[in-house]
Amino acid sequence: MTEPAATPDADPRFSGLPERPGKIIAVHLSYTSRADQRGRRPEHPSYFLKPSSSVAASGASVERPAGTELLAFEGEIALVIGTPAHRVGAEDAWSHVGWITAANDLGVYDLRANDKGSNVRSKGRDGYTPVGPQLIDAASVDPDALRVRTWVDGELVQEDTTAGLLFGLAQIVADLAQHLTLERGDVILTGTPAGSSVIGPGDVVEVEVDAPSAPGAPSSGRLVTKIVEGEQPFDAELGALPSVDDTQRGEAWGSREAAGLPAQEKTPGLDPDLRAKLEQVPVAGLSQQLRQRGLDNVTIDGVRPMHPGAKLVGLARTLRFVPHREDLFASHGGGYNAQKRAFDAVGEGEVIVIEARGETGSGTLGDILAIRAHAGGAAGIVTDGGVRDHDAVAEVGIPVYSAGAHPAVLGRRHVPWDVDLTIACGGTAVQPGDVIVGDADGVVVIPPGMAEEVADAALAKEAEDAWIAERVAEGHKVDGLFPMNAEWRARYDAWRRQA
């Protein structure tokens, strides 16, 4: 595909492109090096949109907004669609890419907090998508042999190739094309490798994309962007103001060390995206998906929630009680025992799961320990024993599942024995780090390695069941519809394609 000629009256912002793009789609995380730096590897690509008004040409100056500190560069390979693509396979997807060039996916981390991953304010500002300066004919290069490099003030800070992608370029195009039509001129920003960091006023960023092994080693040339200080402050009456914390600083700079922050142990808890999925799915749906994968003994039986309307999602921390014996209680029941250690150690997003052997003849916790868990950021408590001070524990507000209330103290039936080991709670094995999910139906235990797969499958099944419920409400019989026969399945698949 030949390089398009620019028209004399063309907007100079789009001089590095064949035309003003109808849409700009960016990949959140796509390089192995970047994923390793962030400490997570997504199973599938995910995306966000940028406005075409954010495009800038090589040589442009870009503002770091007044009152912000964390403007970061991201050198990327930009794909420019040459011919429309809709529902194309990965084997044909590359033929719809007309050109390749360099891009800089700039973003202000100070503005991320309120946009929850959409990046509208942090990455959608005027000039925050510099592109160009030259277009490479996509048909002349191997998409698996492209290179991207970034320099800041002349120092090379990023270098990687498409061999290091988690998801190939053709896969990204095909995946997007099954959801929406990619039109001529649309731009896909394919993610940045490790090395992205913070820049400030006076810095000059250069990005180049090339194909070193292709004939003539075609190159985009160096895309040059100059950073200047913005002067117009944000209006507090209109929306959220910039805000930063050490987590944002560490991510913007690339590491806590680069940001000048002390090393920090990994915060316990689930990946936020996985947590959000699990909060949407009912326990019944998760249980069904686990059973289909051969795990049928994963429900903690005999426990009921104090707050049936509250969802419980977190990672297990375990506590084990053994049957009461006077000499053992004398040696293990007093002082800073296992029960107290467990409640003191629980962290953000964790669930204390207690083995009490289904014995309900005494309490396994009371209001003081519930307050301690709540203050420590715990996601909840699950015990197959009793709860003392039931009403006071309920007032604390933390999700608690138990076998019932009992006024007696711990030592009547139990000895607090040990923590953070495999236990049995409600007839189910629970290990530290297992994913615990509870709702009004009960509590399910999910092996952490299966949690993402199970959550995705349960969400898909929930959508299918909702569609079936609508058909039943319309008056259709359940025979052949629930479960769906081939005819109903075809109708459902057609509906999904149109949705």
| Per-residue pLDDT, 36 | 80
Q: Does the residue 375 lie in any domain?
A: yes
Distances (CA, A) of 362 to 326, 329, 484: 15, 14, 49
CA-derived radius of gyration, the chain: 28
Looking at the fold, whether 308 and 244 belong to one and the same domain comes out as: no
For residue 278, the tally of other CB atoms under 10 A from its CB is 26
Token output for 48: 């966000």
**Are 50 and 150 members of one domain?**
yes
Residue 326 belongs to some domain of the structure: yes
285 and 176 in a single domain? The answer is: no
| pTM given for the model | 0.56
User: Annotated binding residue at 110?
Assistant: no
The answer to whether 209 touches 220, Cβ cutoff 8 Å, is yes
pLDDT surpasses 90 at 6: no
Comparison of pLDDT for 263 and 434, the residue scoring more: 434
pLDDT for residue 164 is more than 80: yes
User: Residue 211 pLDDT > 70, yes or no?
Assistant: yes
Establish if 469 belongs to a structural domain.
no
For residues 225-245, average pLDDT? 86
Q: Is 388 annotated as a binding residue?
A: yes
In a domain, 37, yes or no: yes
Residues 312, 248: one domain?
Answer: no
Mean per-residue pLDDT for 54-73?
95
Q: How confident is the model at residue 499 (pLDDT cuts 50, 70, 90)?
A: low
Q: Are residues 210 and 293 in the same domain?
A: no
Residue 7 has pLDDT above 70, yes or no: no
Domain end (from 187, 218, 253): 253
243 and 340, same domain (yes or no): no
Regarding whether 336 and 305 lie in a shared domain, the answer is yes
Residue 147: inside a domain: yes
| Structural domain harbouring 148 | 12-253
| pLDDT at residue 430 greater than cutoff 50 | yes
Residue 409 sits in the same domain as residue 292:
yes
Mean per-residue pLDDT, 75-94: 96
Cα angle 308, 338, 408; round to 5: 60
Question: Do residue 320 and residue 230 come from a single domain?
Answer: no
Q: Is 367 within any annotated ligand binding site?
A: yes
Residue 258 lies in a domain: no
- Please choose, from the candidates 388, 394, 371, 377, the residue with its C-alpha nearest in 3D space to the C-alpha of residue 305: 394
What pLDDT, on the 0 to 100 scale, is given for residue 267? 44
H-helix or E-strand spanning residue 330: helix 326-332
Give domain status of residue 48, yes or no.
yes
Q: Is the pLDDT of residue 123 over 90?
A: yes
* Whole-angstrom distance, CA of residue 398 vs CA of residue 395: 8
Mean pLDDT of 276-294: 93
Whether 160 and 147 have beta carbons less than 8 Å apart is answered as yes
Q: Note the pLDDT of residue 179.
A: 95
Please indicate, yes or no, if residue 78 is contained in any of the structural domains: yes
Q: What is the CATH classification number for the domain harbouring 56?
A: 3.90.850.10
Q: Is 368 annotated as a binding residue?
A: yes
Whether 319 and 193 map to the same domain: the answer is: no
Number of folded domains in the chain? 2
Same domain, 293 and 183: no
Pair 49, 75: CB distance under 8 Å: no
The CATH number linked to 376 is: 3.50.30.40
What tokens were used for 135? Answer: 């277009």
The most distant pair of C-alpha atoms in the chain lies apart, rounded to whole Å, by 93
pLDDT class for 370, splitting at 50, 70, 90? very high
How far, in Å, CA of 183 to CA of 86, rounded? Answer: 9
pLDDT tens-digit series, residues 286-304:
999 999 999 999 999 999 9
pLDDT score at 192: 96
Question: Does one domain contain both 123 and 94?
Answer: yes
